[in-house]
Chains A and B, each alone.
Chain A
Amino acid sequence: MMNKLILGRYLPGDSLIHRLDPRAKLVASFYFIAIIFLANNLWSYLFLGAFTLFCLWLSKIDFGFFLRGVKPLIWLILFTVALQIFFTSGGDVYWKWSVFQLTEFGLKNGIFIFCRFVLIIFMSTLLTLTTPPLALSDAIEYLLRPLKPLKVPVHEISLMLSIALRFVPTLMDETEKIMNAQRARGVDFGEGNLIQKMKAVIPLLIPLFVSSFNRADDLATAMEARGYQGGDGRTKYRILHWSKKDTIVILTFAVLTAVLMYIRN
């Protein structure tokens, strides 16, 4: 059930994209999402689309994965696109019925928004598929470092993040296990009316909470027993290496911005 989710999964591999520094990938992904709003005509979207496809190709991951990443969000996307198409005015009017209208601007906007959604999802799926979660949390810790003087608990945030990421699959397994155990005891999940459905969740939620508390307790004890005393004075095992190709990625994005500025209206 939950295994169908592609977003947030990591696929081990050894492509150019896999080997990039997670900081470069993270910054590049966010930057891409920002500059996608610069695109405002056909050529700029074509250009960004070509660039995205090139990145996907570099990752050597089957294209089907990225399509699957879009799938769970497709209704949200279509809904937004439909709103745009039917409620934007301006340009030639092709069809009109009470408040709904199909106009040149509306169609154009709708298509652009669709492209924007798909490109953003492709890029973020590319980020998560090629970067192990722990590398991502390392990158976030590094990138948050400037906030430390502002009393932001950067180490704690990154620790919680990496523990949370580590335990997502474990908790999912646990959920599945408890669900099966309760189904074997005659619980029907997802059947009946809303109240019955909500009631059926109790035998799942309480054991999950209890086991999370127990797990947290055990983990904290185990961490203390291994000498963990907080972030101060800790060294790092996983050290991020910034290499030439990461600089090239950043430069590519600078060039990308320049080209985009040139071809947009």
Chain B
Amino acid sequence: MDIRFEKVNFTYQPNSPFEQRVLHDIDLIVQEGCYTALVGHTGSGKSTLVQHLNALLKPTTGTVQIGGRTITPETSNKNLKPIRQKVGIVFQFPESQLFEETVARDIAFGPQNFGVSEEDAAKLAAKTLQMVGLDESYLERSPFDLSGGQMRRVAIAGVLAMEPEVLVLDEPTAGLDPQGRKEMMEMFARLHKENNITIVLVTHLMDDVADYADFVYVLEKGTVVKQGKPQDVFQEVEWLQAKQLGVPTATAFAQKLVDKGFEFNRLPLTSNELAEMLVELGGLAHDE
């Protein structure tokens, strides 16, 4: 299921003194099966854009095509449920959306809203809870007794249980410890590969983009200023740094080596790539 933005503009509180134009003529495609990353400054419109992906917001002008549905400014708020089921969104700090008495019921809440029977929803809850790395003993606990990281996992499980085709992640690892962050990102990558889920990741962490994403959109002040594969986008280190967006750690390190006179065919993105390239360089030096 593709999601296409065509000339999407969005203005908060239009025709009022508090009018605020957030998105300007956005053209963007999230291709089926593609791990797409959205990066950009705080206030560049990423989170607003994310809410267009499942029609929580409708464009002020322009169209958004989600699967077969076309969302225009005139689209009514009825019958959007099928879209919401196919496009699951994990918002920033999703632990604030928990409300049920038990973890199991909270996770089952989403599927039940989409018409899944109580028994099936309970099975889904048990399954997804394991996917996010918590065992069955948590099912009957109150979500409010859990630690922050565990609450985050339960909240994410609540979205995964809807079995979305597209999973939108708005800074899913903000505020997690390094271990939890890594586990979480690996889990999303696994879902992407094994279940062929399309992923849209909004993040400030360029290392995550380099490690996982197939395609990147760079947003600035509500417009797409750059798009492409991470390999291409991150080659322009100076441009990105001038925009204060930064590059992956490995790329930044390689750039420093380049400044000292080393030569790379192209800048590496991940530490593995960097290591390989360094080995190669070292090997050549050894042969001479």
Contacts and interface: CB of A to CB of B under 8 A. Distances in A.
A160 to B, nearest CB: 24
Contact of A185 (B12, B16, B97, B144): B97
B35 interface: no
Contact of B81 (A68, A174, A180, A186): A186
B85 A207 contact: no
Interface in B180-212: none
A202 interface: yes
A180 B17 CA distance: 24
Contact of A186 (B51, B94, B110): B110
Interface residues of B, number: 27
B85 A186 contact: yes
Interface residues of A, number: 25
Contact of A178 (B54, B81, B89, B96): B96
B110 A177 contact: no
Contacts of A188: 81
B99 A181 contact: no
B91 A211 contact: no
B132 interface: no
B113 A185 contact: yes
Contacts of B54: 184
A186 B159 contact: no
Interface string A166-185: 00000000100110111111
Nearest to B91: A181
Contacts of B99: 202-203, 206-207, 210
A231 to B, nearest CB: 33
Contact of B51 (A174, A180, A203): A180
Given A3-B18, A210-B144, A181 B97 contact: yes
Nearest to B56: A180
A184 B159 contact: yes
Interface in A42-72: 62, 64-65, 68
A238 interface: no
B113 A184 contact: no
B17 A185 contact: no
Interface string B46-87: 000001001010000000000000000000000001001100
Given A3-B13, A4-B16, A62-B17, A184 B88 contact: yes
B109 interface: yes
B98 interface: yes
A186 B163 CA distance: 13
Given A181-B91, A203-B109, A186 B97 contact: no
A111 interface: no
A159 interface: no
A161 interface: no
A177 B16 contact: no
Nearest to A185: B110
B187 to A, nearest CB: 19
A26 interface: no
B120 to A, nearest CB: 15
Contact of A181 (B13, B16, B96): B96
B34 interface: no
Given A65-B17, A180-B56, A186 B113 contact: yes
18 contacts: A3-B12, A3-B13, A3-B16, A11-B17, A62-B17, A68-B16, A178-B96, A183-B84, A184-B89, A185-B158, A186-B81, A186-B85, A203-B97, A203-B99, A203-B109, A206-B99, A207-B97, A207-B98
Interface of B: 12-13, 16-18, 51, 54, 56, 81, 84-85, 88-89, 91, 94, 96-99, 109-110, 113-114, 144, 158-159, 162
Closest 5 CB pairs of A and B: A186-B113, A206-B99, A181-B97, A185-B110, A184-B89
Given A62-B17, A188-B81, A207-B99, 10 more contacts: A11-B17, A177-B91, A177-B96, A178-B96, A180-B91, A181-B91, A185-B110, A186-B84, A187-B113, A210-B99
